[in-house]
Amino acid sequence: MRTEPMRPRPRRAQNAAATYRTGSWAWLLHRITGLLILVYLYFHLIVLSSAIWAGGMTSFNRTVASLTTPPFIFADLALFALIFYHALNGIRLIFLDLGWWVDRQQTVFWGMMTIAALLWISTAIVMLPLAFR
Amino acid sequence: MAESTVTFRVFRYNPVTDEKPYWALYPVTVEPGDPVLMGLMRIREEQDGSLAFRASCRSGICGSDAMVIAGRSRLACKTQILHVLNAQREVVVEPLRNLSYVKDLVVDQTPFWEKFYQVDPWLHEDPLSKPPTTERLMQLPESEFDDISKASDCIFCQICYSECPVNGMDRAFLGPQALIKAFRFEADPRDHGTPDRARTLNNQEGVWKCRTTFNCTLSCPKGIPITKGIQALKREMLTVGLGRGGGV
Amino acid sequence: MRQRQYGTTGGAWPWLLQRVSAVFLLVLILLHLWIEHFMHLGAPITFASVKARLVHAVFAVIDYGLLIVVVFHGLNGLRTVLLEIPFLPHRSRAITIGLWVLGVVTVIFGMDILAPFLWGRPWFVLK
C-alpha cells in the first residue's frame, strides 16, 4: 500500500460540482441568469430615472440615443440571451411543476434550449444590422 | 477470463491517529465483472484489515455499501471495477457526500435518519375510525399499487441524499429520500397522515426546497422516479399550504 | 419517534406566486421587448414617442404591470436564493420583510420614472 496526501477539503462535503448533470446545470444557470437580470433591472431603472431627473425631455432623448449605439446593441443581445434562457427554462420548470413530461425532462430541456437559441438568433438577425448601419 | 491489475485509490481517515484524510493506493487483481465491493473486501482481507466500510448483502438489496466511486455516488456491489477506471487505471473510492465522514468510507448517517423519521414514514390510520375488533384486510387495489410500487423499492442507500446539490448547500433540507418516502404514504389511499406530515412537507426545508435537479432520479440504484414523486407531493401540499395556517 | 423539526412550516405561497408571476412575465416581457425593440424597428425612441404611446391605456397597463410583476418575481427569486445560504434561514423573516420594503420602494421609484410621460413631471426630484 502506498499513500498520498490529499488536498484539504471541508469536513462534510466533497466538491458539489462533481454531482452536476443536465438538471443541476440548468438550475445553476437559471439562478445565475435570474440574478444577472435582477441586477440589470436596477441598472435599467437607475439609468432611466437619472436621465429624467437630470433634465427631463432633452436629457432623456440624449441618454436613450446613446443607449442605441453599437456597443449597447451588443449588450442588449447578451441581455436577450439571459432572458431567453431564463424564460424557456422557466417554462420547463412550470411543466415539471404541472407534472408534464417529468420522465423526459432532459429532452424537454434541450427542446426548450433549441427554441431559446432560435429566438436569440432571429433577434440577432433583426438587431445586428442596426449596429452596422 | 483475462485478469488484470488495477489500483484502488481509497479515501482513508482514522479520527484517532490521522490529522486529516489521505489517499491510500492498493494494487488489486481483477477479472471482468468484478464489482468494486469485491475489490474492497480483498483489500481488507489480504492487504489492510483496518479499512472501514459498510457492506452486507453484496447484491444491491441492503443498501449498505453506497459510496462515491469515480466521482458519483453508487452502490459498490452494483458497480463493476472495469467500468469506472480512470486514465491511470485507478478506481477512486470516497465516502458519501453531504454526510460527515467518520472513518475511512463510513459516514455519520444521523441527519439522514432524523429527516426520514420527520415525515412519519408509516401508514396512519383514520383518526375517526374505531379500533378493529376482528381481523381485517388492508389490501390495495392493483391499480393503486402501481403508483406506490416504485417508491416502495427504496433501500435507504443514501445515494440520492449524497448526490442532491441542494442537500450539499442547505443541511436542513429534508432531502430526496425522506420526500419519496413521504410520497409513498401520501399516495397510499389507506393513509390518513397528511395533516401530520404537512408540518414537515409544507415547509421551507420540505417539498418547497426541491429544485428539480433530477440528480436523485438519475442516481437512484433502484430506478425510483424520485423527482416525479416530489413534484406530485408539491401539488398535494399546495392544497394544504395555501389554506388557513399555511403560513408564509 | 419525533425528533427536532427542521425548517419552518409554510412556503407554498411564495412558491406558487413565483410561478404565477412567471406566467404573467412571459407575456409582459415579450410585449415589452417587442414594443421597445421591434415595433418601430430603427426609429429612435424619444420622450415624445414614449409619451404618445403611454397615452393609450393598454401600453400604460403593460408598463405598470411589468414593473410590479418583474420586481416581485425578481425579489422573490432573490429571497429563494438567500434562504438557501447556510446559516441564513433562521433570519428568514428579516430577509422577507427587508425584501418587501425594497420591492415597494423599487415599484414607487419605477412609477416615478413613468410619471413624467403621463403628468409632465416626476412625483419627486431628489436634487
Is residue A10 in some structural domain?
Answer: no
Domain count, chain B: 2
Domain boundary among the residues B107, B129, B155 is at: B107
DSSP state of B104: T
Is residue C1 in some structural domain?
Answer: no
Grade residue A11 by pLDDT with cuts at 50, 70 and 90. Answer: very low
Q: Does pLDDT of B21 surpass 70? A: yes
Question: Do B64 and B125 have their domain in common?
Answer: no
Residue of C nearest to A68 (CA): C44
Q: How many Cα atoms within 13 Å fall on the side-chain side of residue A59?
A: 11
Question: Do B120 and B64 have their domain in common?
Answer: no
Is residue A70 in some structural domain?
Answer: yes
Contact C12 B171 (CB under 8 A): no
CA C81, CA B61: separation in Å to the nearest integer? 37
Q: How far is A46 from chain C (nearest CA, A)?
A: 9
Question: What SS3 state is found at A38?
Answer: helix
Rounded (to 5) percent helix, strand, coil in chain A: 80, 5, 15
Which DSSP helix (H) or strand (E) runs through A4? strand A2-5
Give me the residue from A31, A56, A80 closest to C116, CB to CB: A56
**Cβ count near A93 (within 10 Å):** 20
Question: Do B177 and B206 have their domain in common?
Answer: yes
Give me the residue from C29, C37, C109 closest to A49, CB to CB: C109
Rounded to the nearest angstrom, the gap between the alpha carbon of residue A106 and the centroid of all alpha carbons in its chain is: 19
- Contacting residues of A for C23, CB less than 8 Å apart: 94
Name the neighbours of A, counting chains with at least 3 Cβ pairs within 8 A.
B, C
Residue of A nearest to B20 (CA): A8
Residue of C nearest to B206 (CA): C7
Is residue A7 in some structural domain?
Answer: no
Q: B7-11, B96-100, B210-214, C91-95: which range is least confident on average?
A: C91-95
Is residue C5 in some structural domain?
Answer: no
Question: Do B102 and B85 have their domain in common?
Answer: yes
Question: Do B22 and B124 have their domain in common?
Answer: no
Q: How far is C42 from chain A (nearest CA, A)?
A: 7
- Contacting residues of C for B209, CB less than 8 Å apart: 7, 11, 84
Q: How far is A3 from chain C (nearest CA, A)?
A: 34
Domain boundary among the residues B41, B73, B107 is at: B107
Q: Which B-chain residues 112-151 have CB contacts (< 8 A) with chain A?
A: none
pTM across the whole model: 0.90
Measure the N-to-C terminal CA separation of chain A; round to a whole number of Å: 70
**Cβ count near C94 (within 10 Å):** 10
Is residue C111 in some structural domain?
Answer: yes
User: In this predicted complex, what is the ipTM?
Assistant: 0.89
Question: Do B68 and B177 have their domain in common?
Answer: no
Residue of A nearest to C113 (CA): A49
Q: Is B146 exposed, middle or buried, given 0-12, 13-18 or 19+ CB atoms closer than 10 A?
A: exposed
Is residue B71 in some structural domain?
Answer: yes
Grade residue B83 by pLDDT with cuts at 50, 70 and 90. Answer: very high
Q: Does pLDDT of B230 surpass 90? A: yes
Q: How far is C89 from chain B (nearest CA, A)?
A: 9
Nine-digit cell string for B196? 401530520
Q: Does pLDDT of B54 surpass 90? A: yes
**Cβ count near B203 (within 10 Å):** 27
Domain count, chain C: 1
Q: B14-18, B42-46, B82-86, B239-243: which range is least confident on average?
A: B239-243
Burial C63-78 (b: 16+ CB within 10 A, else e): bebbbbbbbbbbbbbb
Question: Do B88 and B124 have their domain in common?
Answer: no
Which has the closest alpha carbon to C45: A60, A83, A50, A133? Answer: A60
Domain count, chain A: 1
Query: How high is the mean pLDDT in each 10-residue block of chain C (127 residues)?
Result: 63 93 95 86 83 89 95 96 76 88 95 85 67
Range of the domain at A100: 22-131
CA angle A17, A23, A26 (to 5 degrees): 85
Is residue A125 in some structural domain?
Answer: yes
Domain boundary among the residues B107, B124, B155 is at: B107
Give residue B222's pLDDT: 95
What's B46's domain CATH number? Answer: 3.10.20.30
Range of the domain at B69: 4-107
Give the phi and the psi of residue B53 in degrees, each rounded to 5.
-155, 160
Grade residue B248 by pLDDT with cuts at 50, 70 and 90. Answer: very low
Mutation to test the A interface, candidates C18, C37, C40, most A Cβ within 10 Å: C37
Is residue A3 in some structural domain?
Answer: no
Nine-digit cell string for C45? 425612441
Name the neighbours of C, counting chains with at least 3 Cβ pairs within 8 A.
A, B
Q: A17-21, A68-72, A124-128, B55-59: which range is least confident on average?
A: A17-21
Question: Do B43 and B85 have their domain in common?
Answer: yes
Residue of C nearest to A130 (CA): C42
CA B135, CA B197: separation in Å to the nearest integer? 28
What's A118's domain CATH number? Answer: 1.20.1300.10
Is residue B247 in some structural domain?
Answer: no
Is residue A82 in some structural domain?
Answer: yes
Nine-digit cell string for C39? 415595433
Residue of B nearest to A29 (CA): B213
Give residue B144's pLDDT: 80
Nine-digit cell string for C23? 406566467
Is residue B248 in some structural domain?
Answer: no
Q: How far is A6 from chain B (nearest CA, A)?
A: 5
As a three-state string, the secondary structure of B78-97 is: CCEHHHCCCCCCEEEEECCC
Mutation to test the A interface, candidates B43, B88, B212, most A Cβ within 10 Å: B212
8 A C-beta contact, residue B90 and residue B7: yes
Q: Is A125 exposed, middle or buried, given 0-12, 13-18 or 19+ CB atoms closer than 10 A?
A: exposed
Contacting residues for A65 by C-beta, under 8 A, at least 6 apart:
C44
Rounded to the nearest angstrom, the gap between the alpha carbon of residue C124 and the centroid of all alpha carbons in its chain is: 20
Range of the domain at C115: 18-119
DSSP output for B23-82: EEEEEEEE-TT-BHHHHHHHIIIII-TT------SSSSSS---EEEETTEEEETTTSBGG
Is residue A17 in some structural domain?
Answer: no
Give residue B169's pLDDT: 85
Question: Do B25 and B59 have their domain in common?
Answer: yes
Using CA atoms, how far residue B122 sits from B188, B191, C27, C97, in Å, is 11, 9, 45, 38
CA A28, CA A24: separation in Å to the nearest integer? 6
Q: Which C-chain residues 1-30 have CB contacts (< 8 A) with chain B?
A: 1-16
CA A31, CA B133: separation in Å to the nearest integer? 56
Residue listed under C-alpha cell 442605441: A68
Give residue A58's pLDDT: 86
- Contacting residues of C for A133, CB less than 8 Å apart: 42
Question: Do B224 and B118 have their domain in common?
Answer: yes
Q: How far is C99 from chain B (nearest CA, A)?
A: 14
pLDDT in tens, A67-98: 888 899 999 999 999 999 999 999 999 999 99
Is residue B59 in some structural domain?
Answer: yes
Question: Do B198 and B115 have their domain in common?
Answer: yes
Is residue A126 in some structural domain?
Answer: yes
- Contacting residues of B for A5, CB less than 8 Å apart: 22-23
Burial B106-131 (b: 16+ CB within 10 A, else e): bbebebbebbbebbbbeebeeeeeee
Q: What is the mean pLDDT of chain B?
A: 91
8 A C-beta contact, residue B30 and residue B6: yes
What's B231's domain CATH number? Answer: 1.10.1060.10
Grade residue A8 by pLDDT with cuts at 50, 70 and 90. Answer: low
Question: Do B115 and B188 have their domain in common?
Answer: yes
Is residue C10 in some structural domain?
Answer: no
DSSP state of C9: B
